[in-house]
Amino acid sequence: MSAQKNYVATENSLEKQLNERIKELNCLYSLTRLIEENENSIDTLLQQAVDLLPSSWQYPELACARIVFKKASFQSKNFKMTSQQQQAPLLVFGEPVGLVEVYYRKKMPTLDEGPFLKEERLLIDAVSDHIAKAIQRITAQRQLLVERQALQDANVALHDSLVQSKQEKKMVGASIQAKIDKIITPIFYALEADMDERQKKYLGLLKKNFLDIVSPFVEGKQDILTRLSPVEVMICDMIKHGLSSKEIAKLRGTTPGTVGRHRENIRHKLGLANRKINLVSYLNNTLEE
C-alpha cells in the first residue's frame, strides 16, 4: 500500500513538473509570437508581454508581473508589490534600461529561489533576453528610418540646390554671352580687318585664351567668336526666334538672297552643310544648352 502511494505521489510530481515545463514553453512561444506581431510598437509589446507572464508561473492565480522600461511601467492585472519577488534586468545594447518582475501577492512556501523554482529563474532570464533583443531591433529599425528620411531630405535639398545653381549659372552665362556678342566680338572683327598676318595670329591666340576664360560660365556658344561673324551671330539670333529670310532681309535692309547666302555660310561653319538638320531647331536646342 505504501509503495503504491509512493508511486502515485511520484507520478503526480512528474506530471506537475511536466505541466510546469509546458507552461514555460508556451510562455516563450507566445512571447515570440507577440514580438513578431509588434515590430513597430515597444509599448504594445511590453504590455502584452506583461499580461502573459503570470499564467506561466507555478501559482498563476496569485502571480502578477511588471516590466519597467526607462521611465515607463507596464503592469498586469491586480498588480501588487510584495517581498515575494523575482526579477531580471533588461539590457538593451549592453545598457540596463529596466526590469522584468514577477510577484506573488501572498507569501508562498520557500523553494529554489524564495518561492520560485530554478526553472522559473531560467524562464524570466529568457523572457528578459527576448524582450531586450526585440527592443534593440525596433530601436534600430526606427533609427534606420530616421536616417533614411534624413538622407532623402538631404538629397532633395541637394537636388534643389543644384537646380538653382544651374539656373543661376545659366543666367550669368546668358548675360556674359550677350555682352560678348554685343561688345567683344565686333571689336575682334574690327581689329582683324586692319591687321597683318603676324598680328592676326596673335589675335587668334587672344581669342582662344579669352574663350578659355569664359568657357566655365558660358555653355554652348563660347566658340562663336571663332566660327561666326558678328553679322552671322545677329542673323542666327533672328533665325532662332523664328524669323524667315524675307523678314530678316527687311529688317536688315538687304535682299532675301543675301540672307540665304548668310544661312549657307552659317550652316557650313556649324558643320550642318549637306545634313538634314533644321537650323532653327539646332540653334534653339544646341547653342543655348
114 and 238, same structural domain? no
- Each residue's pLDDT tens digit, 223-258: 555 677 778 877 887 888 888 999 989 888 889 999
Residue-wise pLDDT tens digits, 132-187: 999 999 999 888 888 999 999 899 898 888 888 888 877 877 777 777 777 777 77
In a domain, 152, yes or no: no
Helix, strand, coil percentages for the chain (3-state, nearest 5):
65, 10, 25
Sequence-distant (6+) residues with CB within 8 A of 282 are 270, 272
Residue range 73-88: mean pLDDT, rounded: 94
Report which of 203, 270, 205 is spatially closest to residue 236, judged by C-alpha positions: 270
- 46 and 141 within one domain: yes
Residue type, 254: T
* Inside any domain, residue 157: no
In this structure, is residue 164 part of a structural domain?
A: no
Q: How confident is the model at residue 3 (pLDDT cuts 50, 70, 90)?
A: low
One domain, residues 129 and 191: no
Q: Does 243 map to a domain? A: yes
Give the CATH number for residue 87. Answer: 3.30.450.40
Query: Which of 83, 117, 147 finishes a domain?
Result: 147
**Cell match 566655365: residue?**
216
Report DSSP state, residue 116. B
Q: Which domain holds residue 185?
A: 169-285
Report the predicted TM-score, pTM, of the whole model to 2 decimal places.
0.55
Together in a domain, 111 and 247: no
As a whole number of angstroms, the distance between CA 253 and CA 244 comes to 14
If one counts the domains in the chain, the total is: 2
Does one domain contain both 179 and 125?
Answer: no
The continuous run of DSSP H or E covering 87 comes out as strand 85-92
Residue 115 belongs to a domain: yes
197 and 79 both lie in a single domain: no
CA distance 93 to 222: 60
**3-class SS at 104?**
strand
In which band, very low, low, confident or very high, does the pLDDT at 127 lie, cut at 50, 70 and 90?
A: very high
- 98 and 233 inside one domain: no
Distances in whole angstroms, Cα of residue 288 to Cα of each of 125, 218, 221: 72, 9, 7
